[in-house]
A and B are shown apart, each in its own frame.
Chain A
């Protein structure tokens, strides 16, 4: 039972345009969400997070939006750059689950010139 779902395995965007990566979750106990970025042969690196008490969090070119009623979050990258080409994982944690994260299956973003 996949509690965190990233339904798009891949996404291709032109340099300078907006990249939108989506994530859905089913567990209503999740209240903290994170995005990680992963390059080949490297470990995931933290990108941005949001708690359920907010609906938006922004950090430079990266913005995460949370829609609790729809159990949906999205990561917006504006403008997209070739160095953003990587696999992006959505992750979630909930109260009472210690620090355990549940990850989605990832979306591979390719930013083309």
Chain B
């Protein structure tokens, strides 16, 4: 059981180049997420997909696009890479939307991939 798999693990781009980060999960999870981690900033949400066929912006979506290809796969695309996008990118998945305390909530834990280290020169 691989969990969440990200490819590639490392990538170096020149400013203006484009690339797609791939993410696949084999846990039959409904929700998937893309984060970036920068020194001193923690993990910040770029985009998420609550369920197959839906995507929404997170905290830092500018310069990125996403595609929820099917239930398993969620890709992140950089159309024109900039040095400010140098970061470590993590994909995550979770079982379902949480329902909230009023309706009883689900323990909705996110599971992460190993990350993609991207440098934009």
Contact surface of A with B, Cβ cutoff 8 Å: 4, 6, 9, 31-32, 34, 36, 41-46, 49, 51-53, 89, 93, 95-96, 98-101, 103-106
How many A-B pairs have beta carbons closer than 8 Å: the answer is: 79
- B interface residues, tally (CB under 8 Å): 33
Please indicate the chain B residues that have their CB under 8 angstroms from the CB of A44 in the complex: 43, 90, 112
> For window 89-116 of chain B, which residues contact chain A by CB distance below 8 Å?
90, 92, 94, 96-98, 100-102, 105, 107-115
CB closest residue in chain A, given B50: A98
A20-B56 Cα distance, complex, nearest whole Å: 36
CB pair A43–B90 under 8 Å, yes or no, is yes
Whether B53 sits at the interface, judged by CB under 8 Å, is: no
Complex contacts, B56 vs chain A, CB 8 Å: 98
Q: Output the least CB separation between B119 and chain A (Å).
A: 15
Most-contacted residue by chain A among B48, B96, B98, B111 (CB, 10 A): B98
A41 contacts B114, C-beta separation under 8 Å? yes
B residues in contact (CB < 8 Å) with A: 4, 31, 33, 35, 40-45, 48, 50, 56, 58, 90, 92, 94, 96-98, 100-102, 105, 107-115
Given A42-B114, A93-B108, A98-B50, 5 additional A-B pairs, CB 8 A: A95-B98, A96-B100, A99-B33, A100-B45, A105-B40
A9 to B92, CA, bound (A): 24
- Interface-centre pick from A9, A34, A49, A101 (highest chain B CB count, 10 A): A101
Q: Decide if A95 touches B110 in the complex (CB within 8 Å).
A: no
Q: Determine the distance from Cα of A93 to Cα of B108 in the docked complex, in whole angstroms.
A: 10
Interface of A is mostly: loop
The answer to whether A103 and B43 touch across the interface, beta carbons within 8 angstroms, is yes
Instruction: Provide 17 A-B residue pairs closer than 8 Å at the C-beta atoms, listed in order of the A residue.
Output: A31-B105, A32-B108, A43-B92, A43-B115, A49-B107, A49-B109, A51-B101, A51-B107, A95-B100, A98-B56, A99-B31, A99-B108, A99-B110, A103-B43, A105-B41, A105-B42, A106-B42
Give the residue of B45, B50, B90, B109 whose beta carbon is less than 8 angstroms from that of A34.
B109
Decide if A52 touches B101 in the complex (CB within 8 Å): yes
